[in-house]
Amino acid sequence: MNIEQQDFYTQAILSMAALIGLASFLMLGQGRLLRLIFVFALQGLLLTLTAALSAYSLDNHHLYISAGLTLVLKVMFIPWMLRRQVLAMHMNRDVEALENKTLVMLGGASLMVFSYYVLHPIVQSSSTIMVNALAVSLSVVLLGMLLMISHRQAVAHVVGFMSIENGLFFAAIVATNGMPMVVELGIAFDVLVAAVLFGIFFFHIRTSIDSLDVDRLNRLNEIDQ
């Protein structure tokens, strides 16, 4: 069915899905960590708008709480924490040279196509929103994994991990019209705890090897006491 024939809610959700998928794809090619963090915060903002739009259109008021938690955690707190670590390590001007950047980007595009191909069999029995939400969610999860594999910096690994959670969160909001409030609060608490633990992890790496490059951890040798 043509998108112009859909209602406003469907058009808006499909637009948000496209932008969220594009944000995940753009993160793959980012060599500067501050730009990577900015795109991640932008994806969090898109999730916030999606939750608020779903709350308004579906008259599901507890989704406003989910939108608020997403705004605080994924647009403000986590990007601030990551940016602080990057600036503390004086890595804001460093450019990470990605190995086979072209292959990484082609792999990301292939994963997005693969996500739609896998979910194609359910097109006939599901709504347009359901199909696209699940396809974009799967592609965001896969792109987050690829981001963690292709980048060496620990900050990029955290962004990839959080991006995976973003994909699952998007599917939960759109495909299920919002999870129960207790589940959403539990997930928000888990994300907050993970962010704090990552901050502690960064601190110990920084004090031990004076870098957030995880490849250096592989070259560490045990020193006999």
Predicted local distance difference test score (pLDDT) of residue 223: 45
Burial of 103 (0-12, 13-18, 19+ CB in 10 A): exposed
Predicted local distance difference test score (pLDDT) of residue 39: 92
Q: Tell me the pLDDT band of 222, cut-offs 50, 70 and 90.
A: very low
SS3 readout for 124-155: HHCCHHHHHHHHHHHHHHHHHHHHHHHCCEHH
- CA distances from residue 167 to 47, 141, 173, 185, 187 in whole angstroms, order as listed: 9, 6, 10, 17, 13
What is the average pLDDT across 193-217?
Answer: 60
What is the average pLDDT across 168-183?
Answer: 72
Give residue-wise pLDDT tens across range 41-78.
Answer: 999 999 999 988 888 887 878 788 888 888 888 898 88
Predicted local distance difference test score (pLDDT) of residue 46: 93
> Looking at the predicted structure, is the pLDDT value of residue 225 above 50?
no
Dihedral pair phi/psi, residue 140, rounded to 5°: -65, -40
Q: For residues 187 and 92, what is the distance between their CA atoms, to the nearest angstrom?
A: 31
| CA-angle at 194, arms to 191 and 198, nearest 5° | 140
Q: What average pLDDT does the chain have?
A: 77
Predicted local distance difference test score (pLDDT) of residue 179: 61
Q: What percent of the chain has pLDDT over 90?
A: 9
Q: For residues 26 and 10, what is the distance between their CA atoms, to the nearest angstrom?
A: 24
Reduced to 3 states, what is the DSSP secondary structure of residue 94?
coil
> Looking at the predicted structure, is the pLDDT value of residue 26 above 70?
yes
Predicted local distance difference test score (pLDDT) of residue 38: 92
- pTM of the predicted model, to two decimals? 0.81
Q: For residues 111 and 40, what is the distance between their CA atoms, to the nearest angstrom?
A: 19
Alpha carbon of residue 137 to chain centroid: 10
Give residue-wise pLDDT tens across range 79-137.
Answer: 888 888 788 777 766 556 566 778 888 888 899 888 888 887 765 566 777 788 888 88
Structural domain boundaries in the chain: 8-92+123-212
Residues 6+ apart with CB under 8 A from 45: 71, 75
Q: Which two tokens stand for residue 33?
A: 């960590």
